[in-house]
């Protein structure tokens, strides 16, 4: 008969056993299954956290309500401003990350007194440079009329930069970052690669006010773009099918004479697809339409661009660099001190009162919560030493925080160096210091490195200690007393100011990736260590 | 020549000693300065009132400083966290020490390390976005934030501490004890819970208390999910503010006595943590003694 | 197969991974006798002993071929390991009392096997301690921690703990090697007493001990049984020259 370890044979008849044995074996099986379940649950929890953050951090996936439908026109007919006017095409610099824009937004880009920024539409921190060509007679006038709302002609004139010809328009738009211009459709064939067409969304769903009335405490606030399409094609017969009032839908045809607007306002349950401009002029009720927007959240741009407008626009490049600086200086300050402290505790100190005090100090320091470190840093470094809220105060505070980590791992590393190494060196006539520097430290260095990596991980994740020692400036660190943000702090600021969940998640994903890399490298170093020592 | 070398050796030794003393000095400084900043409040506010009054209105006239709601907030979320994390932590610790094999053990170990490494803001964000909607739906609470959500988040955060120390303590139980029990016909599970866990109890307890310290001291994660209401928490679904949250929130705008009172809150927190540290060190010492 | 043999081992081969620790072991262990296993370190005698109550099951890489019968039933296919270990108890080299009271140490086994009644447990504790001739020394401190006992007392406590589950066979793995001479002789006396009611298999490094207490002796060498027979014959008239060399102290 052949058998291997831990045998649990099926209960055959001939097996000599007892009911009690079977009972305790069943107990064991239940207990172990429960433990297995909890172990798997732990893995599942981590997978859930990391997976959730990575998915949310890597891609955004939102339904955003707009006054206009998602339908974007690249060639806009201007027939409302004259019978035979050519269609207009809006063009932008190719590096502007917008594909289309609601018509109201387009008008703001041209008209606002304050220089407009693309950031409002695509989070790209880029000033808008509106260009116009006045020399094309009726066409130019029609475009101007299209762009202007009521009385913003002065702003338009102040804002807009004149060009000399359509050719000049294409060249200028192609060479000016953030530029926005327009062309007649006939000139917009074969555009160079430096220029791209900006779609304009100007179709709105206008409805009779009854559609948006509150009935039974419910109100139709917005519809999905799919519902908008089904409504427009007549597929939906009753508003309740899209979550609204119980009333039939009356679809009104758009006419050029304004007849349709009157019809809309007089028919309960009526709906009309028309231009946003008509809606504005006539004060119609609009049913907002949700657009499903999805795409990469954590992009290259997000990593390399500088943050702007409290982090709502741009990227996190400065934040990453600040994080790097905080890590660098924390490691620079804490490593020598920590390693020297460990050397003293392992190589010099004798068991006794001093050692007990040192050990207790390290243990206690390790247990102090980071908010208390924050308070201390705030009184001591910021106020008493007068270093101010800024980089140096926070680095020093974090240094104290990670010191126990470095001391403890270095201590372990030094202890694991075999005594024979030291004896060998001392026997050759080396002094104790020489032995430590030339023999013990090199042998312990991988272990010490693990400690440093752990300290880096701690520094990256620390937040509470930084709020009142590092401040909240999102610029690049420029000196020892400059206030700054690091990744974790930036994440918290974005979160607490509710500026943008997408950007919060993207920052979180970067943070998680850094932590994953730190952990991987720590594991890697530790494996190397155990291989070298042959454990 | 020889004497100069010994001078160098002595100097370097002194430098090493100084480095080693930095952590002790830091602890002393932290203690002294937190007390210096926070204690003056007791000249104006009776310490008893400060600790046991439930009225916190530092900007009112007259200002009232009672931090009982925050002490209770800390107690609620910490106890809640431990109720959730201790059974799971013990089970996973047992699993790692006694049952895990091969690749799965490696994976689980990395998972626990990673759980320990994830920054608290990430836990807070996750709690806010992923856990609070669940709580909102399951228990029909208005925001989904509060004691329960904070406890769940803190439970996940304290898991690694409890798991690691449970595992280490169980591994330190002499193999002879395990064999002795098995040779008497006990099952592996019986051996674990009737011989090994009792032998490792000081260490396991130290892990739990250490986890408790983590939970009380945690700021960011609870700040993002506990709801931050200045009222006495009444149940798992009520909003809460912990001691740490009180410091972190009010520091933004506090001036005068109000600012001082935050340091006084810091003193209370600090005393809690020191107490916990002392218990941990006592238990660890006991555990080491029991091993021998 | 002789009926009076408590344990019969036929063609037992044991591997630790790639390493073979036991080769073709055949041995019969008689009821109410003391069988000593001797041999140099690493010869497989402890491994063999641990096979008899399946303690080697704990090690994953162990692979066992061959038959071991206890009470004419195969210990792997016909005995539930819990029942087997109840019948075949084991005393280890290093005294291993559990970190609980003396009383709880003894009661551990019976409780494990379902005895809950307090007065029965108390009876078992008293009887077992008396059998292990420890009762007089500890009767006043039954609820004190067992770790407070001396090494020799601890080992007798461990023997009492085994006796408390009413075994048939007691396996002893160098039970006196960690003890002082006085404690050792007390344990030897105890073994002499116990063999009236129990079958005992003892691994020992101490040749004199084997000679003093055993009825049969098996000499293990390189994972094989070099010689097995009545102790007197092994010691005074060995068949194998290697046995003679070992007995006379030429190696080991």
DSSP C33-80: -EEEEE-STTSSHHHHHHHHTTGGGGSTTEEEEEEEEETTEETTTTB-
Give the mean pLDDT of chain C: 89
Q: Which carries the bigger pLDDT value, residue A533 or residue A531?
A: A531
Helix (H, G, I), strand (E, B) or coil at A250: strand
Give the residues across from C67 on adjacent strands. Answer: C10
From chain C, pick out residues whose CB is under 8 angstroms from the CB of A20.
Answer: 113-114
Last residue of a domain, one of A200, A234, A260: A200
Residue partners of B285: CB distance under 8 A and separation at least 6: none
Judge contact between B130 and A531, C-beta under 8 A.
no
Average pLDDT over residues C161-179: 91
- Of A86, A93, A105, nearest in space to A169 by CA: A93
- Of B216, B213, B159, B86, nearest in space to A46 by CA: B159
Contact C82 B187 (CB under 8 A): yes
Taking only residues 166 to 195 of chain B, the set having a beta carbon closer than 8 angstroms to any beta carbon of chain A reads 185-190, 193
Q: Which of C77, C81, C113 sits opposite A1 (nearest CB)?
A: C77
Taking only residues 319 to 348 of chain A, the set having a beta carbon closer than 8 angstroms to any beta carbon of chain B reads 336-338, 340-341, 343-345, 347-348
What DSSP character marks residue A383? I
Burial classification of residue A232, based on how many CB atoms lie within 10 Å of its CB (0-12 exposed, 13-18 middle, 19 or more buried): middle
User: Could you tell me which chain B residue has the CA closest to the CA of A377?
Assistant: B30
In this model, does residue C162 exceed pLDDT 90?
Answer: yes
Residue B196 near chain A (CB below 8 Å):
no
In this model, does residue A325 exceed pLDDT 90?
Answer: yes
- Of C184, C236, C183, nearest in space to C206 by CA: C184
Radius of gyration of chain C from Cα atoms? Answer: 18
Residue carrying structure tokens 């594991």 = A523
Contact C76 A3 (CB under 8 A): yes
Residue carrying structure tokens 């179709």 = A203
Taking only residues 47 to 76 of chain C, the set having a beta carbon closer than 8 angstroms to any beta carbon of chain B reads 53, 55, 58, 60
Say how many residues make up chain C.
252
Contact A5 C83 (CB under 8 A): no
Write out the residue range of the structural domain in which residue A431 sits.
303-532
pLDDT of residue A2: 40
Task: Tell me how crowded residue A111 is: count the other CB atoms within 10 A of its CB.
Answer: 22
Q: Which of C90, C97, C99 sits opposite B290 (nearest CB)?
A: C99
Residue A17 near chain C (CB below 8 Å):
yes
- In angstroms, the CA B16 to CA C10 distance is 67
Residue C92 near chain B (CB below 8 Å):
yes
Q: Per residue in B10-54, pLDDT tens?
A: 899 999 999 999 999 999 999 999 999 999 999 888 899 999 988
Q: Per residue in A492-509, pLDDT tens?
A: 999 998 888 899 999 999
Residue partners of A357: CB distance under 8 A and separation at least 6: B24
Structure tokens at C87: 């019948």
Q: Per residue in A81-122, pLDDT tens?
A: 777 788 899 999 999 998 999 988 888 888 876 778 898 888
Contact C100 B198 (CB under 8 A): yes
**Could you tell me whether strands A223-224 and A289-296 are parallel, antiparallel, or unpaired per DSSP bridges?**
parallel
- In angstroms, the CA B67 to CA A369 distance is 19
Provide the shortest C-alpha distance from residue B17 to chain C (in Å): 40
Judge contact between B34 and A376, C-beta under 8 A.
yes
From chain C, pick out residues whose CB is under 8 angstroms from the CB of B181.
Answer: 98, 108, 112
From chain A, pick out residues whose CB is under 8 angstroms from the CB of B22.
Answer: 337, 341, 400, 403
From chain B, pick out residues whose CB is under 8 angstroms from the CB of C90.
Answer: 179, 183
Q: Which carries the bigger pLDDT value, residue A320 or residue A246?
A: A320
pLDDT of residue B5: 61
Contact B185 C82 (CB under 8 A): yes
Task: State whether A338 and A433 are in the same domain.
Answer: yes
Size of interface B-C (CB pairs under 8 A): 67
- In angstroms, the CA A380 to CA A219 distance is 57
From chain C, pick out residues whose CB is under 8 angstroms from the CB of B198.
Answer: 98-100
* Interface with C, mutate which of A8, A10, A18, A29 (most C CBs under 10 A): A18
Torsion of the alpha carbons at C125, C130, C136 and C141, rounded to the nearest 10? -10
Helix (H, G, I), strand (E, B) or coil at C170: strand
User: Could you tell me which chain B residue has the CA closest to the CA of A407?
Assistant: B20
Q: Which helix (H) or strand (E) holds C67?
A: strand C62-70
In this model, does residue C243 exceed pLDDT 80?
Answer: yes
Q: For the domain that residue A273 is a member of, what is the CATH number?
A: 3.40.190.10
Task: State whether A122 and A249 are in the same domain.
Answer: no
Contact B186 C98 (CB under 8 A): no
Provide the shortest C-alpha distance from residue B278 to chain A (in Å): 9
Residue carrying structure tokens 């810091």 = B266
Contact B111 A43 (CB under 8 A): yes
pLDDT of residue C2: 44
**Could you tell me whether strands A313-314 and A100-102 are parallel, antiparallel, or unpaired per DSSP bridges?**
unpaired
Residue carrying structure tokens 């758009």 = A254
Task: State whether A492 and A384 are in the same domain.
Answer: yes
Provide the shortest C-alpha distance from residue C237 to chain A (in Å): 36
From chain B, pick out residues whose CB is under 8 angstroms from the CB of C108.
Answer: 181, 184, 186, 194-195
Q: Which of C56, C73, C76 sits opposite A1 (nearest CB)?
A: C76
Contact A2 C74 (CB under 8 A): no
Q: Which CATH architecture has domain C5-247?
A: 3-Layer(aba) Sandwich (3.40)
Task: Tell me which residues of chain B have a pLDDT lower than 70.
Answer: 1-5, 291-292
Helix (H, G, I), strand (E, B) or coil at A218: strand
DSSP B22-47: HHHHHHHHHHHHHHHHHTTHHHHS-H
Task: State whether A427 and A464 are in the same domain.
Answer: yes
Size of interface A-B (CB pairs under 8 A): 251
* Interface with C, mutate which of B183, B192, B203 (most C CBs under 10 A): B183
In chain A, what percentage of residues exceed pLDDT 70? Answer: 96
- Of A445, A461, A357, A361, nearest in space to A409 by CA: A445
Does some domain include residue A69? Answer: no
* Interface with A, mutate which of B2, B8, B13, B26 (most A CBs under 10 A): B26
What subunits touch chain B, counting only 3 or more CB pairs under 8 A? A, C
- In angstroms, the CA A490 to CA A471 distance is 10
Q: Per residue in A402-446, pLDDT tens?
A: 999 999 999 999 998 988 888 888 888 888 888 999 899 999 998
pLDDT of residue B130: 94
Q: Which of B92, B186, B248 sits opposite A42 (nearest CB)?
A: B92
Provide the shortest C-alpha distance from residue B252 to chain C (in Å): 53
Q: For the domain that residue A353 is a member of, what is the CATH number?
A: 1.10.3720.10
**Could you tell me whether strands A285-286 and A179-184 are parallel, antiparallel, or unpaired per DSSP bridges?**
unpaired
The total number of structural domains that make up chain A: 3
pLDDT of residue B62: 84
**Could you tell me whether strands A250-252 and A179-184 are parallel, antiparallel, or unpaired per DSSP bridges?**
unpaired
Taking only residues 72 to 111 of chain C, the set having a beta carbon closer than 8 angstroms to any beta carbon of chain A reads 73-74, 76-84
- In angstroms, the CA C249 to CA C242 distance is 11
Helix (H, G, I), strand (E, B) or coil at A318: helix
Task: Tell me how crowded residue A30 is: count the other CB atoms within 10 A of its CB.
Answer: 11
Task: State whether A366 and A400 are in the same domain.
Answer: yes
Does some domain include residue A36? Answer: no
Task: State whether A415 and A475 are in the same domain.
Answer: yes
- In angstroms, the CA B37 to CA B56 distance is 19
Residue A248 has phi, psi (to 5 degrees) of -65, 150
Does some domain include residue A227? Answer: yes
What is the pTM for the complete model shown?
A: 0.89
pLDDT of residue A3: 41
pLDDT of residue A209: 86
In chain C, what percentage of residues exceed pLDDT 90? Answer: 53
Task: Tell me how crowded residue A125 is: count the other CB atoms within 10 A of its CB.
Answer: 18
Distance of CA C32 to the CA centre of its chain: 13
Give the residues across from A184 on adjacent strands. Answer: A88
Contact B181 C98 (CB under 8 A): yes
Residue partners of B151: CB distance under 8 A and separation at least 6: B76, B77, B79, B80, B81, B83, B84, B236
Distance of CA C251 to the CA centre of its chain: 25
Q: Which of C97, C113, C158 sits opposite B185 (nearest CB)?
A: C113
Judge contact between A492 and B245, C-beta under 8 A.
no
Does some domain include residue A154? Answer: yes
Contact A495 B121 (CB under 8 A): yes
Contact A56 B113 (CB under 8 A): no
Task: State whether A262 and A349 are in the same domain.
Answer: no
Q: Which of B27, B193, B248 sits opposite A365 (nearest CB)?
A: B27
From chain A, pick out residues whose CB is under 8 angstroms from the CB of B92.
Answer: 35, 38-39, 42
Q: Per residue in A258-274, pLDDT tens?
A: 788 888 888 888 888 88
């Amino acid at each position: 008969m052949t058998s291997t370890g831990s045998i649990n044979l099926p209960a055959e008849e001939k097996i000599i056993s007892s009911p009690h044995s079977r009972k305790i074996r069943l107990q064991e099986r239940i207990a172990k299954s429960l433990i297995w379940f909890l172990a798997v649950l732990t893995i599942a929890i981590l997978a859930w956290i990391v997976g959730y953050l990575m998915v949310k951090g890597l891609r955004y996936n939102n339904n955003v309500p707009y006054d206009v439908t998602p339908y974007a026109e690249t060639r806009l007919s201007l027939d409302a401003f004259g019978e035979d006017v050519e269609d207009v095409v809006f063009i932008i610099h190719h590096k502007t990350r917008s594909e289309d824009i609601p018509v109201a937004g387009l008008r703001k880009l041209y008209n606002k007194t304050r220089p407009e920024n693309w950031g409002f539409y695509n989070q790209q921190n880029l000033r808008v440079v509106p260009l116009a060509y006045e020399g094309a007679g009726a066409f130019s006038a029609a475009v101007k009329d299209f762009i202007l709302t009521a009385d913003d002609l002065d702003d338009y004139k102040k804002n807009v930069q004149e060009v000399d010809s359509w050719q000049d328009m294409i060249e200028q738009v192609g060479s000016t970052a953030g530029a926005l211009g327009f062309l007649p459709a006939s000139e917009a064939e074969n555009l160079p690669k430096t220029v791209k067409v900006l779609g304009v969304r100007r179709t709105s769903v206008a409805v009779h006010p009854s559609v948006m009335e509150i009935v039974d405490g419910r109100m139709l606030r917005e519809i999905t773009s799919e519902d908008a399409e089904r409504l427009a094609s007549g597929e939906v017969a009753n508003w309740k099918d899209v979550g609204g009032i119980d009333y039939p839908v009356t679809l009104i045809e758009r006419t050029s004479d304004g007849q349709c607007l009157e019809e809309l306002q007089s028919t309960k349950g009526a709906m009309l697809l028309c231009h946003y401009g008509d809606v504005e002029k006539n004060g119609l009720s609009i049913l907002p339409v949700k657009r499903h927007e999805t795409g990469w959240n954590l992009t290259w741009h997000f990593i390399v661009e500088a943050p702007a407008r409290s982090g709502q626009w741009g990227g996190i490049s400065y934040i990453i660099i600040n994080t790097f600086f905080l890590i660098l200086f924390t490691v620079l300050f804490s490593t020598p001190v920590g390693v020297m402290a460990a050397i003293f505790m392992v190589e010099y100190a004798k068991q006794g009162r001093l050692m007990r005090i040192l050990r207790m100090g390290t243990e206690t320091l390790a247990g102090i919560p980071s908010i208390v470190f924050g308070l201390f840093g705030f009184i001591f470094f910021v106020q008493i030493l007068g270093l101010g809220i800024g980089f140096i105060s926070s680095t020093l505070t974090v240094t104290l925080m990670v010191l126990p980590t470095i001391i403890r791992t270095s201590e372990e590393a030094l202890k694991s160096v075999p005594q024979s190494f030291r004896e060998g060196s001392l026997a050759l006539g080396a002094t104790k210091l020489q032995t430590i520097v030339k023999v013990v430290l090199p042998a312990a260095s991988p272990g010490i490195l693990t400690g440093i990596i752990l300290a880096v991980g701690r520094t990256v994740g620390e937040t509470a200690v930084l709020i009142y020692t590092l401040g909240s400036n999102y610029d690049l660190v420029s000196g020892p007393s400059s206030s700054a943000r690091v990744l974790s702090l930036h994440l918290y600021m974005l979160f607490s100011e509710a500026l943008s969940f997408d950007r919060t998640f993207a920052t979180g994903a970067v943070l998680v990736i850094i932590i994953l890399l730190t952990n991987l490298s720590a594991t890697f170093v530790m494996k190397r260590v155990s291989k070298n020592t042959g454990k | 020549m020889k004497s100069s070398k010994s001078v160098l050796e002595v100097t370097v030794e002194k430098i090493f000693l100084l480095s080693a003393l930095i952590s002790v000095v830091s602890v002393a400084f932290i203690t002294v300065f937190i007390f210096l900043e926070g204690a003056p409040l007791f000249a104006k506010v009776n310490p008893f009132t400060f600790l046991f009054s439930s009225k916190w209105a530092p900007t009112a006239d007259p200002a009232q400083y009672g931090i009982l709601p925050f002490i209770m907030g800390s107690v609620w979320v910490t106890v809640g966290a431990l109720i959730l994390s201790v059974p799971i932590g013990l089970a996973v610790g047992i699993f790692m020490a006694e049952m895990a094999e091969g690749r799965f053990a490696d994976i689980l170990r990395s998972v626990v390390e990673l759980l320990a490494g994830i920054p608290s803001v990430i836990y807070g964000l996750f709690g806010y976005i992923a856990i609070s909607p669940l709580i909102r739906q399951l228990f029909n609470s208005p925001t989904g934030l509060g004691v329960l959500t904070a406890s769940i988040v803190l439970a996940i955060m304290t898991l690694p501490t409890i798991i690691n120390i449970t595992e280490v303590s169980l591994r330190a139980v002499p193999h002879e004890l395990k064999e002795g029990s098995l040779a008497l016909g006990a099952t592996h599970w019986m051996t674990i819970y009737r011989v090994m866990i009792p032998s490792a109890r000081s260490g396991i307890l130290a892990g739990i208390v250490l986890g408790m310290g983590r939970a009380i001291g945690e700021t960011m994660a609870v700040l993002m999910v506990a709801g931050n209401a200045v009222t006495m928490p009444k149940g798992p679904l009520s909003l809460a503010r912990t001691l740490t949250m009180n410091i972190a929130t009010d520091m933004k705008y506090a001036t005068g006595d109000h600012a001082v009172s935050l340091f006084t809150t810091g003193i209370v927190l600090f005393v809690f943590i020191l107490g916990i540290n002392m218990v941990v060190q006592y238990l660890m010492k006991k555990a080491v003694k029991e091993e021998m | 197969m002789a009926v009076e043999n408590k344990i019969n081992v036929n063609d037992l081969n044991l591997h630790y991974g790639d390493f073979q620790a036991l080769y073709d072991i055949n041995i019969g262990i008689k009821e109410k006798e003391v069988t000593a296993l001797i041999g140099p370190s690493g010869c497989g005698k402890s491994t063999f002993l641990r096979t008899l109550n399946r303690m080697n099951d704990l090690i994953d890489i162990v692979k066992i071929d061959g038959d071991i019968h206890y009470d004419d039933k195969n210990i792997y296919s016909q005995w539930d390991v819990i029942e087997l270990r109840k019948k075949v108890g084991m005393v280890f080299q290093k005294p291993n009392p559990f970190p609980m009271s003396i009383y709880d140490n003894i009661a551990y086994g019976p409780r494990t096997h379902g005895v809950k009644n307090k007065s029965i447990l108390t009876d078992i504790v008293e009887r077992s301690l008396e059998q292990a001739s420890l009762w007089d020394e500890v009767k006043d401190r039954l609820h004190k921690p067992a770790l407070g006992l001396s090494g020799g007392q601890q080992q007798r406590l461990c023997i009492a703990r085994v006796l408390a589950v009413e075994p048939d066979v007691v396996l002893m793995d160098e039970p006196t090697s960690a003890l002082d001479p006085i404690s050792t002789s007390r344990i030897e006396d105890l073994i002499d007493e116990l063999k009236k009611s129990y079958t005992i298999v003892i691994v020992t490094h101490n040749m004199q001990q084997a000679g003093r207490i055993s009825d049969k002796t098996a000499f293990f060498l390189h994972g094989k049984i070099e010689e097995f027979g009545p102790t007197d014959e092994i010691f005074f008239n060995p068949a194998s020259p290697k046995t003679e060399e070992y007995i006379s102290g030429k190696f080991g």
